[in-house]
Amino acid sequence: MPERSFLSWPFFEDHHRDHAERLEAWCKTNLPVDHTDVDEACKSLVAKLGEAGWLMPTAVDPADPQPLDVRTLCITRETLARHDGLADFAFAMQGLGTGAISLFGTPEQRQWLDKTRRGKALSAFALSEPRSGSDVANMEMTATRDGDDYVLSGEKTWISNGGIADVYCVFARTGEAPGARGISAFVVPADTPGLTIAERIEVVAPHPLARLSFDNVRVPTSALIGKAGDGFKIAMSVLDVFRSTVGAAALGFARRALDETVSRVGGRQLFDAPLFDLQMVQGHVADMALDVDASALLIYRAAWTKDSGAPRVTREAAMAKLYATDRAQSVIDKAVQLHGGDGVRRGHIVESLYREIRALRIYEGASDVQKVVIARQVMGAG
Ligand code: COS
């Protein structure tokens, strides 16, 4: 039985606790799914999650746009990740891909949200480029104004849901000013002529990922999200919301690793006694539990702060993401060690957690970038 005492922390309201319990019950009967074909698995997960209503928190309701509830996003990611990494991925991308529309979109652009929240369309966030991942302000892709249109040219890479998304939120240089102040955000439907999948990218924990090519992709000015030149701030605002949720996914993986370890060390005999009788093992279990609880505190602090109306949670979100992903890696590594050969046996849950966790220290702002962000915030320079 997973540890649930954190749900009584004052960060939560009753509807969060109810959401967590109902989702847990749903996960037990519906997850994990077969991952053999990740594209099909993701599409069916989005349909399934949408049908059951779990995607509603990923984006605002176009008819009544209220702020996103970051605690619900975090609880959902944590719970899904504990049961199936791909289910967490499918959920998370519906939010990240539409985040800019939720926060800054027009009523017309928000019509996409009716579909993505019901699992009827998949979305993707297209920010990174071959020569600008961490250094967003250095992006090269251009969007040139041509009458009532913008024409997009360039490449995006490491795009999650690339190849299966129905709609992309794309960032490109519009040139109002150099650097960060000359970038804009656009809604680009996947079937827009000139937008192609240049490469599918395979990674250690498989999920749909691609490099996209934009060859004179023409979109109307109504595709512009927010104001021209505000794209960098829009991207950062979206990341402020979703970075804590990456920490929450890592927390879900770590909790699962801890649960598996508790069963393992309690049940396995070594030197005529349970493995747990060894003090060295007790030390590992204590470190793991401490890492899990400390991560949860940082994550739900960030989520609660945002939900309480803070305009920016850059520092809190960066701390939560940095700490929780880093510590989850350590928790899972210990779980592998305590499982012995089974820990690296292909198909074992602990082996898959070991592969799943690694990318979370890289995507949506690498750990090193989070340190830059935190330090600048501490110095009052961010
Ligand atoms: N919310 C709102 N505005 C923000 C912001 C935030 N979280 N962070 C920065 N800004 C604003 C700044 O206030 C500044 O505004 P002014 O021009 O009005 O002063 C502007 O944006 C530029 O900010 P800054 O000077 O900090 O830009 P940098 O290029 O130095 O930013 C970092 C550097 C590393 C912080 C940024 O590029 C970053 O977060 N990189 C990681 C990106 C990432 O996560 N990539 C993964 C892709 S998604 S899978």
Predicted local distance difference test score (pLDDT) of residue 64 = 95
- Please tell me the distance between residue 137's alpha carbon and the centre of ligand 1 in angstroms: 8
> Mind listing the pLDDT tens digit for each residue in 280-317?
999 999 999 999 999 999 999 999 999 999 999 999 99
Distance of CA 35 to the CA centre of its chain: 19
- At position 299, the amino acid (one-letter code) is I
Pocket test for ligand 1, best of 93, 171, 236, 313 (most atoms within 8 A of CB): 236
Written as one string, the DSSP assignment of 267-336 is: H-EETTEEGGGSHHHHHHHHHHHHHHHHHHHHHHHHHHHHHTT-S--HHHHHHHHHHHHHHHHHHHHHHH
Q: Please, which pLDDT band fits residue 1 given cuts at 50, 70 and 90?
A: low
Write out residues with Cβ below 6 Å of ligand 1.
127-128, 133-137, 180-181, 232-233, 236-237, 239-240, 312, 314, 363-365, 369, 372-373, 382
Structure-block tokens of residue 77: 């990611």
d(C-alpha 61, C-alpha 118), whole Å:
11
What is the average pLDDT across 109-136?
96
Nearest to 232 by CA among 303, 191, 184: 184
d(C-alpha 204, C-alpha 41), whole Å:
17
Residue nearest to atom 29 of ligand 1 (CA): 137
Among left, alpha and beta (phi > 0; psi -120 to 50; other), residue 208 is: beta
Structure-block tokens of residue 40: 């099909």
d(C-alpha 84, C-alpha 70), whole Å:
20
> Mind listing the pLDDT tens digit for each residue in 150-176?
999 999 999 999 999 999 999 999 999
Strand-pairing partners, residue 170, are 126, 186
The answer to whether residue 351 is catalytic is: no
Predicted local distance difference test score (pLDDT) of residue 23 = 98
H or E, element range at 366? none
> Mind listing the pLDDT tens digit for each residue in 174-210?
999 999 999 999 999 999 999 999 999 999 999 999 9
